[in-house]
Amino acid sequence: MCAVYRGPVCKLCRREGEKLFLKGKRCATAKCALEKREYPPGQHGSSGRYRKSGYGLQLREKQKVKRAAQMTEKHIRKFFVISEKQPGPTGANLLILLETRLDNVLRLMGFSLSIKESRQIINHGHVHVNSKTCNISSYVVRTGDVISIKAKSSDMESVKDAIEESEKMPQPEWFKVDTAARSGEILRIPTREEITLCGGDISENLIVELYSK
């Protein structure tokens, strides 16, 4: 069975009961499926949400983060193992690792409208990290890294559209961006309070409890 979900992504937002912004700017408009049908998908979805057990709460929180980051179970478990070995709270470490993946950073810098679009740009070799081509979406950026769109790719319509949209939104303070040069520099690693996945509304302790069983 394929580990990558290829179905309608709007169903994922409806299943979790909140916007995961999987379709970029569309999610912020009235066209968002959650605006029209604010209940889970399926035959019995409109009948109301069920009371969740302790495990159910843990599972839904993990699924929400996994789907927002658009990762497979294997990859998010790998990041959890890494976060356990780092100093500090495991849950916060996990979220910071997910926030600083190259595909998410490219979105935050305003060079793509969604993580899915970021991965397309990265996989096709349009992105440089420290002046070298990087086609690994899961690369975790570090302080001092310079992320840029290749000169030959800087005028792509998708990049122009993303930059136009990003100029309407406030940007995080842990990096700086030069939109004209199509580049950005990581000034520092973000704090837990600066996490943007799921709007930062994540109970990471539930995820830690789930994976620690």
Confidence check: pLDDT of 128 > 60: yes
Structural contact between residues 20 and 61, judged by C-beta atoms closer than 8 angstroms: no
The residues pairing with 133 across neighbouring beta strands, listed in sequence order, are 128
Confidence check: pLDDT of 24 > 60: no
Which of 49-58, 124-133, 172-181 bottoms out in mean pLDDT, i.e. has the lowest? Answer: 49-58
Other CB atoms within 10 A of residue 152 CB: 8
- pLDDT mean across residues, the chain: 86
Distance CA 62, CA 9 (A): 17
Q: For the chain, where do the domains classified as CATH 3.10.290.10 start and end?
A: 101-189
Q: How confident is the model at residue 61 (pLDDT cuts 50, 70, 90)?
A: very high
Q: Higher pLDDT residue, 5 or 192?
A: 192
- CA separation, residue 52 to residues 6, 26, 61, 206 (Å): 27, 30, 11, 13
Q: For the chain, where do the domains classified as CATH 1.10.1050.10 start and end?
A: 10-98+203-211
Instruction: Provide mean pLDDT across the span 187-208.
Output: 95
Q: How confident is the model at residue 32 (pLDDT cuts 50, 70, 90)?
A: low
Give residue 1's pLDDT.
34
Give residue 48's pLDDT.
54
Domain 10-98+203-211 has CATH 3.40.50.300: no
The residues pairing with 148 across neighbouring beta strands, listed in sequence order, are 128, 183
Q: Higher pLDDT residue, 2 or 178?
A: 178
Confidence check: pLDDT of 3 > 60: no
Q: Higher pLDDT residue, 84 or 24?
A: 84
Structural contact between residues 63 and 17, judged by C-beta atoms closer than 8 angstroms: no
Instruction: Provide mean pLDDT across the span 70-82.
Output: 95
- Name the nearest CA neighbour of 141 among 101, 99, 98: 101
Instruction: Provide mean pLDDT across the span 55-79.
Output: 93
Give residue 167's pLDDT.
86
Domain 101-189, CATH? 3.10.290.10
Q: How confident is the model at residue 50 (pLDDT cuts 50, 70, 90)?
A: low
Give residue 65's pLDDT.
94
